[in-house]
Amino acid sequence: MKLVVVAPAGAVTGGPEAQHQLVFMANRLEPGSAAILYWPFNQRHKTPEPYQHYVCPTILRDQVPEDALVVFPEIWPEVAHTFKNRCALWWLSVGNFGTHGQRNLDKISLHLCQSEYAWDHVRDKGKRMMLTDWVSVAPVVRERQAQVVVNPAKDAGLLRPFVQSGRFQVAELGGMDSLGVSEVLHASKVYVDFGKHPGRDRLPREAALAGCLVMSTYIGSATYWEDMPLSNWYKFETLDEVIGKVAELMDRESPSASQLVYQAWVAKNRSVFEREVKELLDVC
């Protein structure tokens, strides 16, 4: 075993999904090379149902091989001090670092970067490697409507004013499984991301795969072409700007070249991640 990935038990968000993807892909490339170690360490935990298709083996704290690389999410750098192993920190988000009161990086020998935004952030913190992720959407057939999709869990401040403007039919994502999210995306024309983009967020990419026209705030990783290769026309900073551009998109008959490029880039995320995992296994 080369990799042990520490993940929060029972959590169903973008970060934990990426952690399960890492274990899945590592074992696909080299069977038996990776396992999940759920936190808290002192009990057995079941893999959350949405991630069971990744078929990730799990281990307990006292089963971690001494020569394995232990990979922590960026929120837990100081938990590494409880291990004798080599330890890596996976920057799945830049903004969430420090939110759990942990900032000591002394035990971290490798920084894994889910975004170019994170790559820049850790450039003076030691050895680094890119380790992104990929997204997928359940295939469904729905009649596309003149509807805008938003995610109320990601809001840098303009989402509510946009909804309350009453200019558009808006569907808010929340409380849905992956199939429900896919159904809404496939039935909508535009997805607008109002978030802060602490890393490569999943929903804009899922929306692109579902055929939505994607718009985003110009914040965080969304300011990096490597993390969101979408023309700046589709990125906004003010309420008037996003309202005007969404109105224009509603009148379009087909996606622009920029949207098609973005969709193609998202579709390649998995093959890129596979190459990155292979490179990580090679240095373990």
Q: In what order do the strands lie in the sheet with 34-39?
A: 34-39, 3-8, 69-73, 87-91, 108-113, 128-130
Query: For the chain, how many residues are written?
Result: 284
Of residues 113, 105, 69, the one with CA closest to residue 87: 69
Distance CA 110, CA 89 (A): 6
pLDDT tens-digit readout, 139-173: 999 999 999 999 999 999 999 999 999 999 999 99
Per-residue confidence at 262, pLDDT binned at 50, 70, 90? very high
Are the folds of 3-133 and 147-267 the same? yes
Provide the residue ranges of all domains of the chain, joining segments of one domain with +: 3-133, 147-267
CATH number of 3-133: 3.40.50
Half-sphere exposure of 48 (CA within 13 A, CB side): 16
What residues contact 152, with CB distance under 8 A and at least 6 apart?
Answer: 159, 172, 173, 174
Structure token digits, residue 72: 């922590």
- Candidates 1.10.3210.50, 3.40.50.920, 3.40.50.2000, 3.90.1580.10; CATH matching 147-267: 3.40.50.2000
pTM recorded for the entire structure: 0.96
pLDDT tens-digit readout, 71-101: 999 999 999 999 999 999 999 999 999 999 9
Q: Which residue has 């850790």 as its token pair?
A: 122
The pLDDT value recorded for residue 163 is 97
Q: What mean pLDDT is predicted for residues 230-245?
A: 98
Whether a cis peptide bond, with omega within 30° of 0, leads into 8 is no
Vertex 55, ends 54 and 57: CA angle to 5°? 125
Percent of the chain topping pLDDT 70: 100
The pLDDT value recorded for residue 42 is 82
The pLDDT value recorded for residue 93 is 97
- Residue 22: which region, alpha, beta or left (left: phi > 0; alpha: psi -120 to 50)? alpha
